[in-house]
Amino acid sequence: MHDKRVLVSGGFGILGRAVAEALREAGAQVALVDFAPTPELPEGVVALGGIDLADAKGAAGAAARAGEALGGLDGLVNCAGGFSWITNADAGPDDWRRLFNLNLATAANLSKAALPALKVSGRGAIVNIAAKGALSAAAGMGPYAASKAGVLKLTESLAEELKDQGVRVNAVLPSILDTPQNRADMPKADPTRWVAPSDLAAVIVFLLSDAARAVTGAQVVVSGRT
C-alpha cells in the first residue's frame, strides 16, 4: 500500500476511522468523506465533511476534491451507510428509500465519480461494505438487507465491467461490529464474538493491496464467531 491514495466514505465513523488508521499504517495516503461535520483528525488526513453522497453531484465533487488533494486515486472504500431494524409490516416507502440511499446510492454514486481517476491509476481497487445479513435476512432486516444485497450486485456488476480496465471491485460482508452503539443496543450479548473494526479494516486493506491483485468480484464474509 506504500504511496497508494485511497478515498474512504463514512470516514468519520467507527469503521471509517479504523480503515483510515490501517491504511496509513500500511503507507497509504488517505482522504475521508462523510455527511457529518469534520472532526479533529491526524495530521496528513484529507477530510471532507458535510457531503451528501446520496446526491450524485455531492459525490462527484467529493471525488474530484479528494483526487486533487491526493494527486490521484488508487483506491475507494465505500463505508458510508446506516442500519435500522424495522419489520416489513411497519416499513413504509420512506424507510426503504432512506436505507437504499444510505447504503446503495452512496456506494453507486461515489464509485461512478471515482472511476475516471481509478482507471488512470491502472491499479485501482474498490471495496464495498455489504453485510452478512444480505445473504440471509432475519426478522426486521428486510429494508436493510435488501439495500446491502444491492451493494453485492453493484459489486458483481462493476467487477465484470471493469476487470479489463485496471480496476478491481470486491465486497466484505461483516456480521456484527463491536462498536459502542452495538454494545449499548445489545447489553446481554458477548461482544468478544463480534468483529472488531480493526480486524475488518485489515481485510479491507488486503483487498486494496497489490497482494490481492488477482481478486475481483469476491464477497468476503467477515463474521467473527457469530
| C-alpha cell belonging to residue 132 | 452478512
- In degrees and rounded to multiples of 5, residue 174 shows phi and psi of -75, 155
Beta strands in the chain (DSSP E): 5-9, 29-33, 46-48, 75-78, 124-129, 167-174, 219-222
144 is catalytic: yes
Candidates 129, 132, 102, 92; CA nearest to 8 is: 129
Residue with cell 455489504: 130
The CA distance from 188 to 152, in Å, is: 31
The CA distance from 154 to 176, in Å, is: 22
Catalytic residue among 144, 152, 170, 203: 144
Catalytic residue list: 144
